[in-house]
Amino acid sequence: MSIGQTFLGLLESGPRHGYDLKKTYDDRFGHARPLHYGQVYATLSRLLKDGLVELDGVEPGEGPERKRYAVTSAGVSDVELWLASAEKPEPYLQNTLYTKVILALLTGRSAADLLDVQRAEHLRLMRELTRRKAGGDLADNLVCDHALFHLDADLRWLELTAARLDDLRRQVRA
Amino acid sequence: MSVGRGRASASRDVLLGMRFAFAGGRDGWTRTVLTAVGVGIGVALLLLAAAVPGALQARQERTAARSDLRLGEQIPAAADTMLVAQADTLFRHTPVHGRLLHPEGPRAPIPPGLTAVPRPGEVVVSPALRELLDSPDGRLFAPRLDGARVTGTIRQEGLSGPGELAFYRGVDALPADEVTRLRTFGDSPSSEGLGTVLTILVVIIIVVLLLPIAVFLAAAVRFGSESRDRRMAALRLIGADRRMTRLMAAGETMAGACLGLVVGGVLFLVGRQVAPMVSLWDISVYASDVRPSLPLVAVIVLAVPAMSVAVSVIALRGVAIEPLGVTRRATPPRRRLWWRLVLPGIGLALLVPLVGGLPETMGGVVQYQVAAGAVLLLIGAVTVLPWVIELVVRPLGGGPVGWQLAVRRLQLDSAMSARLVNGIAVAVAGAIALQMLFAAAQKESTVQTRQDPSRAQAQIRTHDPASAGLIAVRLRATPGVTRATETLVGGVSAEPHAGAAGQDPVFALLQVGDCAALAEYAALGSCAGGDVFIARATPVDPAAQEAIRPGATVTVGEGGPRWKVPGDARQVPARKDPSGVYQDVILATPGAIDARAMPRLIANTFVSVDPGDPDAMERVRNVVAQLDPVGTVATLAASETVGRFDGIRRGLYVGVMVTLLLIGASMLVGTVEQLRDRRRLLAMLVAVGTRRSALSWSVLWQTFIPVMIGIVLAVVFGLGLGVALLRMVSVPVSIDWAAVAISAGIGAAVVLLVTASSLPTLWRLTRPEGLRME
Amino acid sequence: MTGQPLLEADGLHKAFGPTKALDGASIAIRAGEIVAIMGPSGSGKSTLLHCLAGIVRPDSGHVRYQGAEISALSDGERSALRRTQFGFVFQFGQLVPELTCLENIALPLRMEGVRRREAEARAAEWLDRLDLADVGRKRPGEVSGGQGQRVAVARALVTRPRAVFADEPTGALDSLNGERVMRLLTEAARETGAAVVLVTHEARVAGYSDREIVVRDGRTRDIAREMEGAL
């Protein structure tokens, strides 16, 4: 995920401190992986250098956390450009699940078994996400759904592949 | 698109629809066959109705052709004359047409249906009589033919129908008094036409029986229309427009209707062959008599497919066949009352002017007026019914689950039920009106005979002098006869008292018999051989009292011997005889007078039979026929009804029953179809634990509510029409509640029958396995 | 969790003609738990549900509800059991089209002999609970698919059953409506303590369950337990 553009977007609603930005980011998008402070200030100084943000004011005292940042008009265009351009779809071509399935095929193991075990694991996570949705706000819901749909897609792919492979095996045997 | 191409594509769509009728898989076939059978039954009935007048006409022509009644001057005996005597009798309750023939020369006329006149000792019989003679019952009838040998069979042209019992027997002599001399058969004046009341009856009967058939036909062509509509929706999805679906529906219906015509024709032909085996009210018809007139056949052949197409196209108006499915109009157009009242209103307007009484002779216009009025009034029941059903059903609610399901279903779509119930309403309304008319006519034509069947069950009159005095003796020896009293009857005339000139002679009956026989005519007191009594009826006729008294001299018969009433003859009060006659009569025991000297002697015998012996009366008839072939046996009854109404009444009931069964059948088809349409829902309801009884009740209520509304409406319209008809023929209005109850009962029976017959389907469809058929 | 299961099936076999729908399926459902039955189409999921609910009699094997053998009951007794102890939600077409939604919800109560007024009052509470307040007087044909399924959920729960059987309850719905139906169904089931047997082929729907049982070729597999055992 592009942290720079995300910061620019967050700053559109008004100038903020670096600390605020990190906190908001973590709340909304961070979830399992909060940002490090170093990452935050490295990003902000890059944006400052590119003229996409400017210092809005410095509070008296020491340390980087005293600086307030505001988005520039170049920064706003940059966010717009980013939102308007399509993301390159992730190809998911090289992941472990895929490798496992191929391996199962090569070694003559049942793809269905693999599916059942993997589904149990996927469902454990999906249940957790579903429960979290029940308690969470809209943003929480959206993020959980995102994950749920991806997990769902994994399982569907596995199901289809398992059915295909089992068919194939049956054909080969016949 | 040019007109020419439009027409071509239209016919292509119609043809496509016809193909669907036969190529729609099992469901399509079922639907087509149902329609064809339904239409076929209707067509067969229509053909039958169209054939009835012809059949009756043919029958009447044949009976006229063999008629031997001859009015007017006697013709002299010649080589081309035939002496005919009536020997009609009854077997059980069936009349037997019997004739004794004595040709007076070689060119004597031969009765129709015979190849030669039977010689003395020979008899020619109808096939039905021959069958009877060959059956175990034959010995109960054979004696009446006096041992004559059966030498031939009467052909069709000599019989009123195949079931008629008839014989022509050759004899070598006939008593001159009881014969007709003929030069040709069938020379009698034609019988008079039907009277006013009967004409109305016939017109209304036809209306009452044909209207429900029309309603039934309309329902039959819509069998399976719901699944057809769904198929049409699928065709819309692949690009058929509304017009095309309509044309295809028309084609499909037409195919079913045409097949129905064929089925109807076959049913009719088969039924025609069965016709001779059926004998209703002593009327039987030959298969070849059952021949509908060509114009009527043409009308049926053209009208049935046309009507079926019209019905299916009109039915489609209330349905929107969209590519994604069939939607009934969400809010069906609210039923308006006014136009529904127009038709019965016109009908009433036509009938009301006639209410004062009909003219003696039915002019053509009046006939049509009555028919049109009755038809419109009855159709009124059809048009008002949907409105009434909706009115009654709308506020309904509450009640158990089955009731709620039925009521809600009716509230959503009562049109289908109304359509089916229409036929019942018309049939019942017509039946009630006719029953009222019949009941009134029956009352009018029931005569109190004053006969006393408790004293004797039959009166026998014979003219043969040879057997006179033997009748009672022979009858008493006959098994089953409990009592027989015979008198020889003659007339006497007496000069008025003092021979006063200018006064007419006084006539009285003279009965000669033993004391027991004479006791039937007067309270004799003591009686012994040689006694003579003068029985006096009150009020006393002074002239008779003067002229006929003990010691008076009277003339026996016309110009017969003179006889002096003994001076010791006792005057006793007369008594009503078993046949109801009450008059002055001279009663003499055989010792007092030689009865055989009396001219034109009639032997009169009263017979009592064992009521537990059904064959006793047949034996009595046999004895009489043997003693005097032209003698008559009249059974005595306290009242006598003109029987033809019985026949029509029973015929009407049969017709109404058949009609209601037909409608019941179409209701059954409708109900089963509806159940099949809802099989998933039914399986689901049972899966969630709904009792089957609740579902059964809902089927029952769904049929019961509209039928009962229909019957109530039918009673109202029927009574209305009945009252109008009664007033028309100037008969006091009385309501035949029994007929109302019977009609309503039949309707209720139809409901039960339909429900009971649809339950197996319901149970089959509600097996939980139904859930799998998703 | 120990103790007697609410509903238990053991070694079920069921064939429809030559097709084996169940070939030794077993399952145990405890009171109040939500169990998803998953598996590919034609694996026998629905048949297993029908057997558990006493709709279909297995050819062999046992189904016990609260320890009592269901297969031994007569058709009438099983109907009564379904009416009083169970609730049902199917994919579609389960509402009586000529009754209003309120009357549809009240139907199971009415079949139990509850008076109309009271039955409809209780049904009306469920209308509110499932955000259906404005559809009570409408007929099923006049409401959306999601609303119709929520009416079905209300109808399944109105008798406060011990178990609700749901066969692809969201199968005909989009994700948003499906989710809403699932959330309302599971929440209401948890509140009333009803167990839910949920047949679905969608993992996201199964996400609302406590655990899943997989049916494959007519046989059941409890993967979670197998994995526990392996550890």
pLDDT band at B422 (very low <50, low <70, confident <90, very high): confident
Which residues pair with residue C211 across a beta bridge?
C35
Of the listed ranges A4-18, A126-140, B362-376, C41-55, the least confidently predicted one is B362-376
Query: In the predicted model, what is the mean pLDDT of chain C?
Result: 88
Q: Given this model, what pLDDT does residue C6 score?
A: 92
Kindly tell me if the per-residue pLDDT of B193 is higher than 60.
no
Rounded to whole angstroms, what are the CA distances from A26 to A18, A63, A143? 12, 21, 13
Whats the size of chain B, residue-wise? 774
**Contact criterion met (CB < 8 Å) for B687 and C108:** no
- Which residues in chain B have their CB less than 8 angstroms from residue C76's CB? 691
Nearest-angstrom CA–CA distance, B633 and B458: 6
* Interface confidence (ipTM) of the complex: 0.81
Query: How far is residue B161 CA from its own chain's centroid?
Result: 16
User: Please, which residues have CB within 8 angstroms of residue A32's CB and are 6 or more apart in sequence?
Assistant: none
Q: Given this model, what pLDDT does residue B419 score?
A: 72
Same domain, A164 and A102: yes
Under a CB-based contact definition with an 8 Å cutoff, are residues B410 and B421 in contact?
A: no
| Tens-digit pLDDT profile for residues B36-76 | 887 888 888 788 777 777 777 777 778 777 877 766 667 77
B128 phi/psi in degrees, rounded to 5 = -65, -40
Kindly tell me if the per-residue pLDDT of B482 is higher than 60.
yes
- Which residues in chain A have their CB less than 8 angstroms from residue C228's CB? none
B275 phi/psi in degrees, rounded to 5 = -50, -45
Whats the size of chain C, residue-wise? 231
Kindly tell me if the per-residue pLDDT of B1 is higher than 50.
no
Report if residue A114 sits inside a domain. Answer: yes
Same domain, A80 and A115: no
Distance from CA of C16 to the nearest CA of B (A): 9
Q: Given this model, what pLDDT does residue C182 score?
A: 93
Report if residue A63 sits inside a domain. Answer: yes
Nearest CB neighbour to C94, from listed B330, B684, B694: B684
Nearest CB neighbour to C79, from listed B405, B411, B689: B689
Of the listed ranges B381-390, B537-546, B703-712, the least confidently predicted one is B537-546
Same domain, A76 and A111: no
Report if residue A89 sits inside a domain. Answer: no
Kindly tell me if the per-residue pLDDT of B280 is higher than 60.
no
Rounded to whole angstroms, what are the CA distances from C182 to B369, C6, C143, C208? 71, 22, 18, 7
Report if residue A90 sits inside a domain. Answer: no
Q: Given this model, what pLDDT does residue B2 score?
A: 40
Q: Given this model, what pLDDT does residue C161 score?
A: 92
**Contact criterion met (CB < 8 Å) for B691 and C111:** yes
Same domain, A7 and A37: yes
Same domain, A47 and A119: no
Kindly tell me if the per-residue pLDDT of B639 is higher than 80.
no
Of the listed ranges A118-122, B194-198, B239-243, C62-66, the least confidently predicted one is B194-198
Same domain, A76 and A13: yes
Which residues pair with residue B489 across a beta bridge?
B511, B602
**Contact criterion met (CB < 8 Å) for C110 and B409:** no
Kindly tell me if the per-residue pLDDT of C33 is higher than 90.
yes
Of A62, A84, A106, the position where a domain reaches its end is A84
**Contact criterion met (CB < 8 Å) for A148 and C207:** yes
- Which residues in chain A have their CB less than 8 angstroms from residue C185's CB? none
pLDDT band at C150 (very low <50, low <70, confident <90, very high): very high
Same domain, A39 and A101: no
Q: Which residues of C touch B (CB under 8 A)?
A: 16, 46-47, 50, 53, 55-56, 76, 79-84, 86-88, 90-91, 93-94, 96-99, 103, 107-108, 110-111, 116, 139, 141, 156
Higher-pLDDT residue of B48 and C31 is: C31
Under a CB-based contact definition with an 8 Å cutoff, are residues B409 and B704 in contact?
A: no
Do A and B touch, 3+ Cβ pairs within 8 Å? The answer is no
**Contact criterion met (CB < 8 Å) for A126 and C224:** no
- Which residues in chain C have their CB less than 8 angstroms from residue A149's CB? 204
User: Please, which residues have CB within 8 angstroms of residue A155's CB and are 6 or more apart in sequence?
Assistant: A115, A118, A119, A122, C203
Q: Given this model, what pLDDT does residue C208 score?
A: 94
Question: What is the torsion angle, in degrees rounded to the nearest 10, for the CA atoms of residue C130, residue C136, residue C140 and residue C144?
Answer: -50
Kindly tell me if the per-residue pLDDT of B100 is higher than 90.
no
| Cis amide bond preceding B539, omega within 30 | yes
Nearest CB neighbour to C111, from listed B681, B690, B771: B690
Q: Of all residues in chain B, what percent carry a pLDDT higher than 90?
A: 0
Of A52, A84, A116, the position where a domain reaches its end is A84
Same domain, A69 and A43: yes
Report if residue A153 sits inside a domain. Answer: yes
- Which residues in chain C have their CB less than 8 angstroms from residue A144's CB? none
Provide the number of structural domains found in chain A. Answer: 2
Kindly tell me if the per-residue pLDDT of C205 is higher than 70.
yes
Question: Which residue, B550, B289, B578, B280, is CA-closest to B449?
Answer: B578
Same domain, A23 and A63: yes
Nearest-angstrom CA–CA distance, B69 and B617: 28
Under a CB-based contact definition with an 8 Å cutoff, are residues B157 and B113 in contact?
A: yes
- Which residues in chain A have their CB less than 8 angstroms from residue C40's CB? 159, 163
Same domain, A127 and A165: yes
Q: Which chains neighbour B (Cβ–Cβ under 8 Å, 3 or more pairs)?
A: C
| Tens-digit pLDDT profile for residues B205-228 | 777 767 777 777 777 777 767 667
Q: Given this model, what pLDDT does residue B198 score?
A: 60
Nearest CB neighbour to B687, from listed C16, C88, C141: C88
Mean pLDDT over residues B276-295, rounded? 70
Kindly tell me if the per-residue pLDDT of C195 is higher than 90.
yes
Query: In the predicted model, what is the mean pLDDT of chain B?
Result: 77
Same domain, A33 and A100: no
Quote the domain boundaries for residue A158.
Answer: 96-173
Which residues pair with residue C66 across a beta bridge?
none
Give chain A's end-to-end CA distance (angstroms, integer): 49
Distance from CA of C164 to the nearest CA of B (A): 11
**Contact criterion met (CB < 8 Å) for A119 and C224:** no
Q: Which of B423-427, B502-506, B726-730, C104-108 has the highest mean pLDDT?
A: C104-108
Report if residue A166 sits inside a domain. Answer: yes
Nearest-angstrom CA–CA distance, B271 and B313: 32
Task: Supply the CATH number for residue A43's domain.
Answer: 1.10.10.10
Nearest-angstrom CA–CA distance, B62 and B97: 13
Report if residue A51 sits inside a domain. Answer: yes
Both tokens of C72, joined, read: 């031994």
Report if residue A91 sits inside a domain. Answer: no
> Which sign, positive or negative, has the C-alpha torsion B124, B130, B134, B135?
negative
Mean pLDDT over residues B696-721, rounded? 86
Of A84, A119, A144, the position where a domain reaches its end is A84
Same domain, A135 and A160: yes
Nearest-angstrom CA–CA distance, A137 and B502: 136
Nearest CB neighbour to C203, from listed A112, A117, A122: A122
- Which residues in chain C have their CB less than 8 angstroms from residue A114's CB? none
- Which residues in chain A have their CB less than 8 angstroms from residue C206's CB? 123, 126
Specify the amino acid at residue B317: R
Distance from CA of C157 to the nearest CA of A (A): 21
pLDDT band at B330 (very low <50, low <70, confident <90, very high): very low
Three-state DSSP state, B102:
strand
Nearest-angstrom CA–CA distance, A26 and C230: 37
